[in-house]
C-alpha cells in the first residue's frame, strides 16, 4: 500500500513508504485478495512438511493488540526449509510485508507468496533493539515498523494467550479411536525417534480408557509378552521419576521436518490441535496430523487451571490412587491379606525410592504365561506354581511373578484343571463360555478370544536378584492375594 495520506510519517519517501494494517482491519472483507503489511505475535506453530509439489510448507498463527480470537493463520511456502521462519520463542514478533489476505470455508488466513512477500522475526521482549534475528530474501527494513514493534512489545508484557475453547476439545479420559480432537496437556518429555520423528509424552491428570484385547490362550502366544511400553529403549528411571504418579501418560508421535522442539520445554502446557489416537500393540498412541498445530499455554490459562484443580481434587481424595473407571471399589475377583493398606499406582511402584518395597495396587491382568491351566505348575520337582502375569493400570504396565506358596494362596491350593481354567478366565475377563463341555483344551488354544479384564486388587513386592546391580535386576512378585471363589 502507498502511504501518501497516512499522517504518521511525512518523510516524503513516496512509493517506498507503506503502512501497517492492524489484524482487525486486515481480516475485514474489503481486504480479501489484497496485499497487506501486518505485524503480529506468534502464538501457534504447525509442522514443517513437504507440500504436494516440491515446496516446503509451514503455518504460524498470529495475534496483535487489535485481534486475538481466533488467531490468524499465515501459510508459508519455500523451496528450501531454511527459508521458512524459525521462531526462537513463543510470542516473538513477525513482520509480514506484501502478503495476501485470503479466505477459505469462511476462515480468513494470510498467504505468504515466495515471489513477492517478505518476513522478519524480532524478539518479543521489550528493548530498543530493532534488528530482526531472521529475515527473508526480499525483506527491507522500514522505520515505521519500529513504533509498531514497540507497541506490540509493550502490549505483550501483559497479554496472556488463552487456550481458546471449541467443540473439538477432549481430555484423555474421553478419547476414542480414530477420532480427530484437540488436547490440552502437559508435555512431560520429548524424545527423538529418528531424524524426522519425535515422541511427546503428554499428561492431563485423567486416565485413558482401558482397552480390550483379542488373544489366543496358547502358551506360544503368551510366551512373547505384551510390551511394557511403546518406546524402545524404555525411558530411564531418572526421567520416570519426574513424571506424575497418577493419570495416564499418552505417547504422541510427531512426524515432520525440523520440529520446533526448542519451543517446548518439559513441563510446558500446550494445546495440540488435530491429534488422532489409535491402538498400537495394546497401547493408546496419539499422532499429530500434517495440519496439526501447537499452542503454548501458561498454568494460569483457565482450561489448564481447571485441569490442575481436578487433578489436585482427585489425588487428595481417599480414592485418588484408584483408576478413574474402576468405580470406587475394585471388582470382587480377588481379595488380599491387607484390606486396609492404602492403594498406590504402578507408577508409584516404578518410581519408589528404594529397590525393595511392598505395595497394594488396583490393576488389570492382561496376560498370563503359561496361559494353559495345565502348565501353571512346574512339571518337575515339587510341581510348584511358577507364572508371569502382565499387569496394567492407567499409569504403567509391569510383569509380576507368582511362585510357590504365593501361588498356592492365589489359587486356593491345587484345584482341578477346570477350576484353574475358570479362575484364569475370571482374571482375564473372558465372558464367553470358551470351554464348553466336551471341548478339548486344544480347541481353546486355536480360537481368538476377547478379553476385558476386570480391575482387581493385589499385593506386590519388589526385590532384586543381583546384589551388584540391585536396580537393574529389580523384579516384582505377587503375594498375599487370592482369587475369590465366585461360585458360592
Question: Where in the sequence is the domain holding 176, given as residue range(s)?
Answer: 169-207+246-316
338 and 263 in a common domain: no
pLDDT at 334: 92
Is 128 a member of any domain? yes
Count of domains in the chain? 3
Instruction: Read off the C-alpha cell for 215.
Output: 488373544
Tell whether 152 and 179 lie within a shared domain: no
| Same-domain check for residues 355 and 454 | yes
- In the 8-state DSSP scheme, what is residue 42? E
* DSSP assigned state of 344: B
Is 8 domain-assigned? no
Collect all residues with Cβ–Cβ distance below 8 Å to 13 and sequence separation of at least 6. none
**Rounded mean pLDDT of the chain?**
88
pLDDT band of residue 331 (cuts 50, 70, 90) is low
Predicted pLDDT at 9: 37
Give pLDDT, residue 381: 81
Residues 177 and 293 occupy one common structural domain: yes
Task: Say if 103 falls within a structural domain.
Answer: yes
Q: With contact defined as beta carbons under 8 Å apart, do 281 and 390 qualify?
A: no
Q: What pLDDT shows up at residue 358?
A: 96
Return d(Cα 157, Cα 131) in angstroms, integer: 19
Q: For residue 264, tell me if it sits in a domain.
A: yes
In this prediction, residue 365 carries a pLDDT of 95
Same-domain check for residues 62 and 150:
yes
Mean pLDDT of 372-400: 93
Q: How confident is the model at residue 195 (pLDDT cuts 50, 70, 90)?
A: confident
Please tell me whether residues 187 and 77 are part of one structural domain.
Answer: no
Both 311 and 359 in one domain: the answer is no
Over residues 2-60, the pLDDT tens digits come to 444 444 433 333 333 468 899 999 998 778 888 999 999 999 999 999 888 888 999 99
> How does 145-184 read in b/e, with b if 16+ C-beta sit within 10 Å?
beebbeebbeebeebebbbbeeeebbbbbebeeeeebbbb
Q: Please give the pLDDT value at position 360.
A: 95
Domain endpoint, select from 260, 283, 316: 316
Task: Indicate if the pLDDT at residue 441 is higher than 60.
Answer: no
Q: What is the pLDDT of residues 250-271, one digit of tens each?
A: 999 998 888 888 888 778 999 9
Given the C-alpha cell 486388587, which residue does it identify? 457
Distance CA 297, CA 306 (A): 13
Boundary of a domain, candidates 316, 351, 376: 316
In degrees, rounded to 5, the angle at the alpha carbon of residue 244 between the alpha carbons of residues 337 and 365 is: 40
The fraction of the chain above a pLDDT of 70, given in percent, is 91
Instruction: Select from 125, 158, 191 the last residue of a domain.
Output: 158
How far is 194 from 282, CA to CA, in rounded Å? Answer: 23
Contact by Cβ (8 Å): 295, 240? no
Check if the beta carbon of residue 235 is closer than 8 Å to that of residue 383. no
Mean pLDDT of 53-82: 92
The C-alpha cell that represents 164 in the structure block: 481458546
Is residue 369's pLDDT more than 90? yes
Same domain, 126 and 149: yes
Residue 323, in any domain of the structure = no
Residues 191-207 have a mean pLDDT of: 91
345 and 253 in one domain?
no
Alpha helices in 226-289 (DSSP H): 237-240
What whole-number distance in Å separates Cα of residue 324 and Cα of residue 321? Answer: 9
pLDDT at 382 (0 to 100):
83
pLDDT above 60: residue 244: yes
Whether residue 464 sits in one domain with residue 354: yes
Mean pLDDT computed over 163-192: 90
CATH code of 141's domain: 2.40.50.140
Q: Are residues 136 and 83 in contact, defined by beta-carbon separation less than 8 angstroms?
A: yes
Instruction: Please say whether the beta carbons of 52 and 26 come within 8 A.
Output: no
Together in a domain, 145 and 251: no
Question: Do 341 and 385 fall within a single domain?
Answer: yes
In a domain, 16, yes or no: no
SS3 track for 369-414: ECCCHHHCECCCCCCCEEEEEEEECCCCEEEEEEEHHHHHHHHCCC
d(CA 67, CA 110): 14
218 within a domain of the structure (yes/no)? no
Q: Is residue 201, in this structure, part of any structural domain at all?
A: yes
Tell me the Cα Rg of the chain. Answer: 29
Amino acid at each position: 500500500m502507498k502511504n501518501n495520506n497516512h499522517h504518521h510519517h511525512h518523510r516524503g519517501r513516496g512509493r517506498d513508504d507503506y503502512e501497517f494494517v492492524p489484524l482487525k482491519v486486515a481480516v475485514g472483507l474489503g481486504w480479501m485478495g489484497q496485499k497487506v503489511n501486518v505485524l503480529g505475535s506468534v502464538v501457534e506453530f504447525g509442522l514443517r512438511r513437504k507440500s504436494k509439489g516440491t515446496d516446503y510448507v509451514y503455518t504460524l498463527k498470529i495475534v496483535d493488540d487489535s485481534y486475538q480470537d481466533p488467531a490468524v493463520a499465515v501459510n508459508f511456502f519455500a523451496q528450501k526449509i531454511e527459508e521458512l521462519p524459525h521462531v526462537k520463542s513463543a510470542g516473538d514478533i513477525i513482520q509480514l510485508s506484501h502478503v495476501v489476505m485470503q479466505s477459505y470455508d469462511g476462515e480468513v488466513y494470510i498467504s505468504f507468496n515466495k515471489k513477492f512477500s517478505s518476513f522478519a522475526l524480532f524478539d518479543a521482549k521489550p528493548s530498543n533493539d530493532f534488528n530482526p534475528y531472521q529475515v527473508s530474501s526480499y525483506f527491507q527494513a522500514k522505520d515505521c515498523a519500529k513504533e509498531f514493534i514497540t507497541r506490540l512489545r509493550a502490549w505483550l508484557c501483559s497479554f496472556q494467550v488463552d487456550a481458546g475453547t471449541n467443540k473439538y476439545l477432549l481430555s484423555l479420559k474421553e478419547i476414542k479411536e480414530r477420532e480427530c480432537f484437540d488436547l490440552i496437556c502437559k508435555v512431560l518429555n520429548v524424545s527423538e525417534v529418528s531424524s524426522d520423528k519425535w515422541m511427546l509424552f503428554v499428561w492431563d491428570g485423567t486416565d485413558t480408557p482401558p482397552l480390550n484385547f483379542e488373544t489366543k490362550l496358547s502358551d506360544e502366544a503368551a510366551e512373547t509378552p505384551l510390551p511394557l511400553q511403546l518406546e524402545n529403549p524404555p525411558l530411564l528411571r531418572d526421567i520416570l521419576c519426574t513424571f506424575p504418579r497418577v493419570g495416564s501418560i499418552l505417547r504422541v508421535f510427531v512426524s515432520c521436518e525440523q520440529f520446533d522442539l526448542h519451543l517446548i520445554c518439559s513441563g510446558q502446557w500446550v494445546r495440540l490441535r488435530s491429534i488422532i489416537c489409535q491402538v498400537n500393540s495394546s497401547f493408546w498412541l496419539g499422532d499429530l496430523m500434517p495440519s496439526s498445530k501447537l499452542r503454548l499455554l501458561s498454568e494460569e490459562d483457565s482450561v489448564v487451571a481447571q485441569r490442575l484443580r481436578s487433578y489436585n481434587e482427585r489425588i487428595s481424595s481417599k480414592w485418588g490412587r484408584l483408576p478413574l473407571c474402576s468405580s470406587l471399589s475394585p471388582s470382587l475377583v480377588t481379595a488380599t491379606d491387607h484390606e486396609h493398606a492404602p492403594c498406590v499406582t504402578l507408577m508409584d511402584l516404578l518410581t519408589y525410592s528404594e529397590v525393595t518395597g511392598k505395595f497394594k495396587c488396583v490393576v488389570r491382568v492382561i496376560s498370563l504365561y503359561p496361559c494353559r491351566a495345565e502348565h501353571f505348575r512346574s512339571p518337575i520337582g515339587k510341581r510348584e506354581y511358577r507364572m508371569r502375569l502382565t499387569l496394567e493400570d492407567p499409569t504403567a504396565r509391569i510383569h509380576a511373578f507368582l511362585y510357590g506358596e504365593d501361588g498356592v494362596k492365589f489359587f486356593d491350593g491345587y484345584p482341578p484343571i477346570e477350576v484353574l481354567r475358570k479362575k484364569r478366565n475370571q482374571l482375564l475377563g473372558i465372558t464367553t463360555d470358551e470351554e464348553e463341555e466336551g471341548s478339548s483344551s486344544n480347541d481353546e488354544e486355536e480360537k481368538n478370544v476377547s478379553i476385558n479384564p476386570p480391575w482387581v486388587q493385589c499385593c506386590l513386592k519388589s526385590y532384586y536378584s543381583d546384589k551388584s546391580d540391585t536396580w537393574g535386576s529389580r523384579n516384582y512378585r505377587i503375594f498375599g492375594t487370592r482369587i475369590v471363589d465366585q461360585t458360592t
